Structure 1
Amino acid sequence: MQASIFTEILLPLALAFVMFGMGLTLTVADFTRLLKAPKPIVVGLVGQTVLLPLLAFGLCLAFSLHPAMAIGIMILSACPGGTMSNLISHIGRANLALSVSLTALSTFICVFSTPFIIHYSMDYFAGENAPSFSIVTTVVGLVCVSIVPVIIGMAIRHFKPAFSIKVEGFFRTFSLWFMIAMIVGILISERANLMASLEEALLVCLALNISAVVLGLILAFAFKLSKIDGITLSIEVGVQNAALAMLICITFLNSPEFAVAAGVYGLTMYAGPGLLAVWSKRLKNTTKSDGKDKPLATQKA
Structure 2
Amino acid sequence: MFGMGLSLTKQDFQQLWRAPLPIIVGLFGQLMLLPLLAYFLALVFELPSNLAIGIMILAACPGGTSSNIISQLARANLALSVSLTAISSLICVLTTPLIIQFAVSQFGQQEQQSFSLVSTTIGLIFITLIPVIIGITLRHYFAEKAISSEPFFRHLASAFLVLMILAIVIQEKATLASSFSAVFTSALTLNLVAILLGIGLGLIFRFSARDCVTLGIEVGVQNSAMAILIAITFLQRADYAVAPGVYGVTMYIGAFLLVFLAKKFRSPPIIVRQVP
1:119–1:133 contact (8 Å) kept in structure 2: yes
- Find the partner of 2:270 among 286, 289, 295: 289
1:217 paired to 2:230? no
Q: CA deviation at 1:279?
A: 2.2
Displaced runs of 4 or more, over 6 A: none
Amino acid at match of 2:13: F
Q: 1:197 is paired with a residue of what secondary structure?
A: helix
Amino acid at match of 1:133: F
Q: Which residue in 1 is equivalent to 2:71? A: 89
Q: 1:81 is paired with a residue of what secondary structure?
A: coil
- Find the partner of 2:153 among 168, 171, 174: 171
Q: CA deviation at 1:283?
A: 4.3
TM-score, length-normalised on structure 2?
0.96
Alignment size in residue pairs: 272
Partners of 1:289 and 1:168 lie apart in 2 by 35
Partners of 2:197 and 2:268 lie apart in 1 by 23
Q: Which residue in 1 is equivalent to 2:19? A: 37
TM-score, length-normalised on structure 1?
0.88
Amino acid at match of 2:218: E
- Find the partner of 1:144 among 109, 126, 129: 126
Amino acid at match of 1:229: D
Partners of 1:30 and 1:152 lie apart in 2 by 16
Q: CA deviation at 1:58?
A: 0.6
1:109 paired to 2:91? yes
Q: CA deviation at 1:280?
A: 2.4
- Find the partner of 1:50 among 29, 32, 40: 32
Q: 2:270 is paired with a residue of what secondary structure?
A: helix
Q: 1:215 is paired with a residue of what secondary structure?
A: helix
Q: Note the residue ranges of structure 2 that are not aligned, 5 or more in a row.
A: 272-276
Q: Which residue in 1 is equivalent to 2:274? A: none
1:68–1:258 contact (8 Å) kept in structure 2: yes
Per-residue CA deviation, residues 175-221 of structure 1 (Å, 9 max, x unaligned), is 11111111111111111111111000110001000000110111011
Amino acid at match of 1:213: I
Change (3 A) 1:273 1:262: same
Per-residue CA deviation, residues 241-292 of structure 1 (Å, 9 max, x unaligned), is 00100011000000110000001000100111111112223344x16439xx
Q: 1:154 is paired with a residue of what secondary structure?
A: helix
Change (3 A) 1:20 1:137: same
1:122 paired to 2:104? yes
Q: 2:114 is paired with a residue of what secondary structure?
A: coil
More displaced 10-residue stretch of structure 1: 129-138 or 83-92 = 129-138
Per-residue CA deviation, residues 102-148 of structure 1 (Å, 9 max, x unaligned), is 00000011111010111111111111344611111111100101110
1:251 paired to 2:245? no
Partners of 2:26 and 2:218 lie apart in 1 by 8
Q: Which residue in 2 is equivalent to 1:198? A: 180
Q: 1:212 is paired with a residue of what secondary structure?
A: helix
- Find the partner of 2:211 among 198, 206, 229: 229
Q: Which residue in 2 is equivalent to 1:64? A: 46
